[in-house]
Amino acid sequence: MKRTIIKVCLSWLLVCPLLTFTSCKDWLDVEMSDNIMENTLYNTNQGFLIALNGIYVGMNDIYGSYLSASVIDVMAQYYNVTKNDDHAYSVYSYYEFDDETFENLSSNVWTQAYALLANVNVILEHCDKDGAALNESYYPLVKGEALALRAMIHFDMLRLYGPIYSEATASTICIPYQESSSKDIQPLLPASEVLDKVIRDLNAASELLRTGDPILTKGVQNAIPSDDGLDSYDMAYRQLRLNYYAVQALLARAYLWKGDKQEAYQIAKNEIIDKITTDDLEVFPWATEESFLLERKPDRLFSSEVFFAMYAQNRTIYSSLFSSALSLSSRLRFVGTSISGSDSKVATFYDDANDLRRTMWEVIATEVEDDGTEDDEDQPTETETSLYFLKYANPDADATYDGSETYCYMTPLIRLSEVYLIAAECAPTDDEALGYINAIREHRRCADASLQNGTRQELITREFAREVIGEGQLYFYYKRLGMEEIASGTEANGTYQMTLSNYVWPLPSVEEDKRTEIQF
């Protein structure tokens, strides 16, 4: 596959600089009390970027699958995961929080998240240290992104381990907010205090990035810049970093979680929708039908609309979760064996037969292995017909690239359509809300929706589910609204009765054990 240019460029941007000292994972494991390494690392602008890149790369361990396409989407009941076929993900589909498998995963997510936060705080402490090496061009970018990373990771820990947020639950003690690199165990805080700190950090990040983020004047810059040294890449590929608009979207997401629809609407409409397209620059253009259907390298992520994504040079989401090479007990799939049959969730999930998103699913017939008995020896090979999700499928091996196709390596976490749906949910009138909903549908080749098709919230729920499948956001959407009846994963057109406690992950034992002997 001819990906040399983009691989070299993005690897240099996100991974290779770490090799100056050690590998990415080793770097994240280094004790930051090692003053020799720490002082060397933060002696230059490039050292700060190396440290920041290490955070982004490390985030793949939790966002590259668990909190995107696999566990968290299984818990949103997207897929046909049952105990009958001894499915590998049934623990999550049935919310078996006490199971060792779930406990181990939760412990890993928690431990890795707070390890990343400790390292983010090291960066922040060095940003404002006397004699810091950061010059005035890099300071707002590095500190702004670091603050945004601290807010985002804490916010997702709150969305996992915190309560269904409301005035009644705002005082619920849930998680710590790590604001220093200290190894001291921090107290668990009320959900409202955690959320206020998230919003505080995002606002501070926004102010810094407003003055220093090149996305505001040059766009996302997913093209190969001129080869005039490493500095050419420092300000490029802004979709792979927490850029100014991604921070605004996180703020809208956080305010909506808080229940402040007025502030969420103001940010979504006035700070994002009204500003991302000007006469001179279109930062996040709607993806085209041509790019989505492009032969050999279709852009099924609608990548031009992605505000922020994880980068993985060797993305394995498709091969590990959706591939036809996987057994039924380990593959994630919709119920049904056809695209349009009455037994197919595809037919009910997408309400318009022309929907581009519908073509992310394909019917594939695969051979079924016999059980090795004598009766099977003279029987013809059987085939199994099943639905396969192609959103993350790799392009053809002989496809060529010009260096701008970052979608081959993306795991999207924030996108334009979510911002439109936040605006729709918070808009003062139904007509305005429908305008935002139908803007999305128009660019997905769908007919306009109307309130005859459902309430405003019902229309938003269906569109949101279609937009973020494989991206880990639907479970949090359901939780925010405290939804007790959601779409079923095991029926083509059924509902799942959700117990509200299924939305709250218990603190992992690795954290509980630390606190047993400690009094705050």
CA 288/CA 305 separation, integer angstroms: 10
CA 231/CA 212 separation, integer angstroms: 15
Residue 377's pLDDT is what? Answer: 55
Label residue 233 by pLDDT band (50, 70, 90): low
Planar angle of CA 88, 91, 94, nearest 5 degrees: 125
The pLDDT of residue 330 is above 80: yes
Average pLDDT over residues 322-348: 94
CA 473/CA 334 separation, integer angstroms: 18
| Secondary structure of 307-357 as H, E, C letters | EEEEECCCCCHHHHHHCCCCCCCCCCCCCCCCCCCCCCHHHHHCCCCCCHH
Rounded to the nearest 10 degrees, the angle between the axes of helix 191-212 and helix 244-258 is 160
What single letter denotes the amino acid at residue 112? Q
Half-sphere CA count of 197, side-chain side, radius 13 A: 20
The pLDDT of residue 162 is above 70: yes
Asked: is 4-318+403-515 a CATH 1.10.510.10 domain? The reply is no
Q: What is the pTM of this model?
A: 0.91
pLDDT tens per residue, range 240-291: 999 999 999 999 999 999 999 999 999 999 999 999 999 999 999 999 999 9
Query: Mean pLDDT, the chain, as a whole number?
Result: 89
CA 49/CA 160 separation, integer angstroms: 29
Planar angle of CA 497, 498, 499, nearest 5 degrees: 125
Decide which of 33 and 165 is more confident.
Answer: 165
CA 10/CA 405 separation, integer angstroms: 11
pLDDT tens per residue, range 424-463: 999 999 999 999 999 999 999 999 999 999 999 999 999 9
Q: Which residue has the tokens 């001819």?
A: 2
Q: Is 385 left (phi over 0), alpha (psi -120 to 50) or beta?
A: beta
Residue 425's pLDDT is what? Answer: 99
Looking at the chain, how many residues does it have? Answer: 520
Share of residues in the chain with pLDDT > 90 (%): 75
The pLDDT of residue 2 is above 50: no
| 345 neighbors 334 (Cβ within 8 angstroms) | yes
Half-sphere CA count of 365, side-chain side, radius 13 A: 3
CA 89/CA 74 separation, integer angstroms: 7
Residue 28's pLDDT is what? Answer: 44
Task: Enumerate residues 6+ apart whose C-beta is below 8 A from 4.
Answer: none
| 275 neighbors 216 (Cβ within 8 angstroms) | no
| 494 neighbors 488 (Cβ within 8 angstroms) | yes
CA 282/CA 53 separation, integer angstroms: 27
| 55 neighbors 119 (Cβ within 8 angstroms) | yes
Share of residues in the chain with pLDDT > 70 (%): 86
Task: Enumerate residues 6+ apart whose C-beta is below 8 A from 10.
Answer: 237, 240, 311, 313, 406, 409
What single letter denotes the amino acid at residue 59? M
pLDDT tens per residue, range 51-110: 999 999 999 999 998 999 999 999 999 999 998 879 999 999 999 999 999 999 999 999
Rounded to a whole number of angstroms, the distance between the first and last alpha carbons of the chain is 56
CA 46/CA 239 separation, integer angstroms: 20
Beta strand pairing call for 189-190 and 173-175 = antiparallel
Residue 132's pLDDT is what? Answer: 76
Q: Of 100, 222, 118, which Cα lies nearest the Cα of 180?
A: 118
Residue 231's pLDDT is what? Answer: 46
Three-state secondary structure call for residue 394 = coil
CA 183/CA 57 separation, integer angstroms: 22
| 468 neighbors 418 (Cβ within 8 angstroms) | yes
pLDDT tens per residue, range 101-141: 999 999 999 999 999 999 999 999 999 987 678 989 999 99
CA 216/CA 234 separation, integer angstroms: 15
Label residue 27 by pLDDT band (50, 70, 90): very low
pLDDT tens per residue, range 357-398: 999 999 988 766 555 545 555 555 567 788 999 999 988 766
In order of 14, 16, 22, the CA distances from 19 in angstroms are: 11, 5, 5
Three-state secondary structure call for residue 186 = coil
On the 0-12 / 13-18 / 19+ scale of CB atoms within 10 A, 74 is buried
Q: How many CB atoms lie within 10 A of CB 81?
A: 24
